[in-house]
Amino acid sequence: MPTGCASFSEAFGIIMLRRLIIDLNYGMHRGSASHLGRCVSKPTAECKLWLRGASVFRGAPAGATLLSEAPDRHPIHAADPSQRRHFGKASRKQIAPVELMVDGDVAPISHIQEAIANLRCEHPRIRTMVFAAPRRMENAKWRQFVASEPDMHFKAVSREGVRGQPTDEAMLSQVESVRQNRRTGYIAVLSSDSNLVKEIIRLAMECSMRVIVFGPSFAAYAEEQFIAMGAQVRHLHQRNIPFKVRGVLRTDGTGEYELVDSPLLSAGENLQRTKYLLGFLKSLGWLSESDTDLEVRLPQTLVKFWFHHFRTDPVSSHGSMTVFPIEQLIWTMHDIVRTGGSSWQQRQSEYAYCTPLVRVSRLSKENEAKYGGIRQKRLFLGGGPIILDDSDQVPEKMLTILGYLDHYNTDVREAAFVFVNVSDNKYNLRQLGMLSGSSFQMSQLRSAFLADLTCQWHRAPVDTFVRKLLVEKGCMRSEQADKRKVWKAMRAYARRTRLPGPELQTYNGLVWRIHRGLFADKDPSTRSVVEVHSDIGSS
């Protein structure tokens, strides 16, 4: 009797099922006969068995899912009788693998392992391609992981230059290669970039390939789009992160963050409200049909819409607005526009909305309990949301708010240089299409701050590490030294060590230059320096 069987009827059912398996086509959509045999003899919580009918055998093992219970799954097709004699090692090699493409810039090893385990329950062969910066393989854990997984390949993606998204481009190139060679009928993708995922789905569907999308979570609107395009979405394990931080914006354009527990809201309800608000804002010209990333633009647009309509009425019940968590913003604005009658105005004015961020490398258990998550801590320490009217002074005002301009940093062009070369800001500018080669026009700063696509700009770099370094190198005596003494010590250190890069003289410029000189070779995601050109005054 097969191991693990609780009764004779179950054993007999499994024996009959195994005989049926021999008649199955080895090139079926959802797995191999040998794998199905393994799933039946030793069912696990991860493995699921898709059968053509519920009457194949009576005592179905735990974990087996019948086709009648999973109509969205692809059924197993019976084999061509002429091919049955080829059942064995020779035909096994001919099975096309599932092509799993991983954005290694953002996907942790645990998520890759989970995606592979999920696929392995249904497919006999998995070919994994991990796309990441070349120096990723200098990490011992990553080297061991790639070497230990069968048929896993690491694709080193160069970071030379700053235009575009090199990892995205490499993954799309791989999809084209798979399409041309027709190596598989299945593509699986692990990425948090919804635009990249949608483009992969589009390319695969043009050749009638199936697509499985893996991710810890996607925005509800984006996930619905993936499914509408024909892809299957599978969620990886993700810990529920509670909202401990609440952001409030006032009608005078200033705001703050508070440490307050916020309830988790229904994802289904939030999706319906999101759809309604997108249609509402498009009808008034606050969003355009030609806009991409509509759900990404939605929070910023809602804040600007609210500010435009309620800034002159600070004594009303809408004198302040919760802008974070974003789900709370969507719920509140949905209720406001549904009860606001027909007094809403077309989009006529532009605003610069910003939720400043700071860098946080890790989160202790104590801080996790306090802030909820690393993103919430970055926002809380960033100072608070702010919104400005459009004007020629927007760039200087925003650079001042973010700490790039002050009496230690009076060179506007150098302030813009440091701002552009901070990694989070550089990423945003690439997303906005404002980086050309290795240069940036200062006249674009105004448009960048007015854009709806993002509002999260990074504050000026802090000098904590630099102070510690200067004391260790004997350039000054105390980490608590006056800022002018630190400035003087940084200039002396830069001359003595001949740091690479431009000759920056402002306080922030020297902090950035020292950081860059010490960590550029250690950070696998570091890109080329962006040069800043032109004057800041033009719009």
Among 229, 225, 175, 183, residue whose Cα is nearest residue 203? 175
Range scoring the smallest mean pLDDT among 130-134, 176-180, 263-267, 271-275: 263-267
pLDDT of residue 93: 45
Q: What are phi and psi of 12, to 5 degrees?
A: -65, -40
Length of the chain (residues): 539
Residue extents of the structural domains in the chain: 98-235, 241-390, 393-538
Cβ-Cβ contacts under 8 Å for 447 (sequence gap 6 or more): 432, 434, 539
Query: Which conformational region is residue 398 in: left (phi greater than 0), alpha (psi within -120 to 50 degrees), or beta?
Result: alpha
Name, in order, each residue with C-beta under 8 angstroms of 440's C-beta and a sequence gap of 6 or more. Answer: 416, 420, 429, 434, 530, 531, 532, 533
- Quick check: bond before 325 cis, omega within 30? yes
Q: Are 177 and 101 in contact (CB under 8 A)?
A: no
For 152, other C-beta atoms within 10 Å of its C-beta total 18
Note the pLDDT of residue 261: 87
Q: How far apart are CA 129 and CA 126, in angstroms?
A: 10
Sequence-distant (6+) residues with CB within 8 A of 289 are 282
pLDDT of residue 490: 95
For the segment 406-463, what is each residue's pLDDT rounded down to a tens digit?
999 999 999 999 999 998 999 899 889 898 777 899 999 999 999 999 999 999 999 9
Predicted pLDDT at 412? 95
CB neighbours of residue 502 within 10 Å: 16
Indicate the Cα dihedral angle 377, 382, 386, 390, nearest 10°. -130
**Half-sphere CA count of 71, side-chain side, radius 13 A:** 0
With 60 as the cut, is the pLDDT of residue 12 above it? no
Which position has the higher pLDDT, 220 or 141? 141
The answer to whether 293 and 195 are in contact (CB under 8 A) is yes
Distance of CA 19 to the CA centre of its chain: 46
Fold adopted by 98-235: Rossmann fold (3.40.50)
In whole numbers, what is the pLDDT of the chain averaged over residues?
A: 80
In the three-class reduction of DSSP (H, G, I as helix; E, B as strand; rest coil), residue 314 is classed as coil
Note the pLDDT of residue 343: 84
Residue 508 reports pLDDT greater than 70: yes
pLDDT (tens digit per residue) in 261-297 = 877 766 667 888 999 999 999 999 999 988 878 888 9
